[in-house]
Chains A and B, each alone.
Chain A
């Protein structure tokens, strides 16, 4: 009986298993041999990274130590405690209700009288001048403010902390050094100062002047309030201009712009703008805004406009990246629901891209806060004493203030320059921290 046969392949499985097992053993041996080398390379790689980080941290530590050691002293100011006899005759005030009289009273006379009482040995005019020089020229104004607030004090004797001159201040702060500061002070002045110190009349108090006053020729009267307000106004203008223009540009380029040569041209230009040195923007401001449009020099409005030009590329580039990062599936879902293009952008793309946009904006603004060169070109380097009240008041900015003080010879200004740098750094660090915090907090997971 014949049977019908069909060809069905026989598998050679039994022969194959031995071969693959042999191959496995060889592989394991090779892997183990190379393992030591690989781990060593890994450790080396880690070490490089660690060394780099340590070096960077070291530099940072050196920088901060230098600045803080130079600047911390500026937060304290020397005052001389004096007994002031607010004699109406000396003050030349007969009606204590009259504000005008109070404002223009002879407070200097009162202070000088008190000094003479303390040190009767200053007889000659030259000596008396030296004595009076121990006190700051602005001390009388501070006294005036005090009396204006409490007119009833007239006729009494009060104990007042009078602002000391910057040389006194520097000397007093340098007493712990190897060589105490003498500067332009004469021997007699030093003797007086020693006596004041012995009697405990010299005090270091927190330097509120630094934060309340505008710039001044006298270091002890100089403050950064003007610069801070100026910077604040400038950054405000920068933010309003660059944020709105930057976001709109980014949206246009990402969503609406057709892919043609013109769009490419715009993109290339924006990317190049980010690399332009900042002083060029200052020249631009000088030539166009001041020269052609006739804007006023040295005002926060102009400073804001110039800085916003500088910040725009940063904001545009980071906003575009944020918009690109929105997953296309969300767009497709929204389009599929019948949302129009604008609805897709407003309801879905912008909210999701906002954290990235804000981060980019804050980083850009922090950069603008510390820019000096463009502001120099548009004249914010002037010596402005008054604290600006509006966007069109002449003002200066924090980095420019630092630049100006760095030029001054007085020791006290060196201290204050470093203190101002510390304030600026504090702002920058806090702005960047906010940026990081925002990014972490608002980052959505999809």
Chain B
């Protein structure tokens, strides 16, 4: 195979993994800022966002370069198409992390309310795993890992429902907490969206490897 193409594809894989790391780190910081009330982390997240945007642009340019210079076909072509979509998804995940961080800042300036357990253990853990595994599946062309990521979405959905129940109970109990509880609800929704985006990534990986479009199917895979 052409050395140039191999080299460019390898470098593209490195870049997308770097972006994945950056986004994962942003999400973690945002969640820690939220659960431990640390507004200084919020600043870091906002700074990281700039870097994430730059990396996204760089990856898109690299993809265009491979398409123009090498005219890839078959699996290589599908890989490039998937990378472009994943690139987009990761950047949106970064945006959601920023949204969570902003809410965290607001909440840190107000009196604390009890934070549902989901925000500190299950959800961050699961989301971190999903991000990491979906990108591993991408660079290793591993369909089994991708399918596991799709299953893990259920865990996040479940945790999300529990957090909703807790916050609803809190709001009913003490109506002065409504503002803060609603902010937390928003964060919960952002996290669910992040998990959905990693599921998209996993579905794209299955398309890339098997050549079949598997989107928009029920979770009965």
Contact = CB atoms under 8 A, between A and B. Distances in A.
A6 B20 CA distance: 14
A6 B139 contact: yes
Nearest to A11: B7
Contacts of B135: 4
A4 to B, nearest CB: 6
A6 B21 contact: no
Contact of B25 (A1, A4, A6, A8): A1
Contacts of A1: 21, 24-25, 28
A4 B24 CA distance: 12
Contacts of A6: 10, 13-14, 17, 139
Contacts of B13: 6
Contacts of A3: 17, 21
A4 B13 CA distance: 11
Contact of A8 (B14, B20, B21, B24): B14
Interface in B102-142: 132, 135-136, 139
Given A1-B24, A3-B21, A8 B10 contact: yes
A4 B136 contact: yes
Interface string B135-155: 110010000000000000000
Interface hub of A3, A4, A6, A8 (most chain B Cβ within 10 A): A4
Question: What is the interface of chain A mostly: helix, strand, loop, or mixed?
Answer: loop
Interface in A1-46: 1, 3-4, 6, 8
Size class of the A contact interface (CB-based, 8 Å):
under 10
A1 B17 CA distance: 13
Contacts of B24: 1
Interface string B150-189: 0000000000000000000000000000000000000000
Question: What is the interface of chain B mostly: helix, strand, loop, or mixed?
Answer: helix
A290 B28 CA distance: 119
A6 B21 CA distance: 14
Interface in B1-55: 10-11, 13-14, 17, 20-21, 24-25, 28
Contacts of B25: 1
Contacts of A8: 10-11, 14
Contacts of B11: 8
A107 B19 CA distance: 130
A4 B17 contact: yes
Contacts of B28: 1
Nearest to B139: A6
Nearest to A5: B17
A290 B17 CA distance: 103
A11 to B, nearest CB: 9
A13 to B, nearest CB: 13
A10 to B, nearest CB: 12
Nearest to B136: A4
A409 B173 CA distance: 156
Contacts of A4: 17, 20-21, 132, 135-136, 139
A6 to B, nearest CB: 6
A6 B17 CA distance: 9
Nearest to A2: B132
B77 to A, nearest CB: 21
A99 B176 CA distance: 163
A1 B28 CA distance: 10
A216 B53 CA distance: 116
Contacts of B20: 4
Nearest to B128: A1
A8 B9 CA distance: 11
A3 B25 CA distance: 10
A3 B24 CA distance: 10
Nearest to A7: B10
A187 B21 CA distance: 134
B45 to A, nearest CB: 14
A3 B28 CA distance: 14
A119 to B, nearest CB: 111
A4 B136 CA distance: 7
B142 to A, nearest CB: 12
B21 to A, nearest CB: 5
A17 B4 CA distance: 20
A52 to B, nearest CB: 55
A185 to B, nearest CB: 102
B3 to A, nearest CB: 11
Nearest to B11: A8
Nearest to B25: A1
A8 B10 CA distance: 7
A8 B8 CA distance: 11
A8 B20 CA distance: 18
A4 B20 CA distance: 10
A129 B10 CA distance: 122
B17 to A, nearest CB: 6
A1 B24 CA distance: 9
A148 B133 CA distance: 128
A4 B21 CA distance: 8
A6 B135 CA distance: 12
Interface of A: 1, 3-4, 6, 8
21 contacts: A1-B21, A1-B24, A1-B25, A1-B28, A3-B17, A3-B21, A4-B17, A4-B20, A4-B21, A4-B132, A4-B135, A4-B136, A4-B139, A6-B10, A6-B13, A6-B14, A6-B17, A6-B139, A8-B10, A8-B11, A8-B14
Interface of B: 10-11, 13-14, 17, 20-21, 24-25, 28, 132, 135-136, 139
Q: Which 9 A-B pairs have the closest CB atoms?
A: A3-B21, A8-B10, A4-B17, A1-B25, A4-B136, A6-B13, A6-B139, A6-B14, A4-B135
Given A1-B21, A4-B20, A8-B14, 18 more contacts: A1-B24, A1-B25, A1-B28, A3-B17, A3-B21, A4-B17, A4-B21, A4-B132, A4-B135, A4-B136, A4-B139, A6-B10, A6-B13, A6-B14, A6-B17, A6-B139, A8-B10, A8-B11
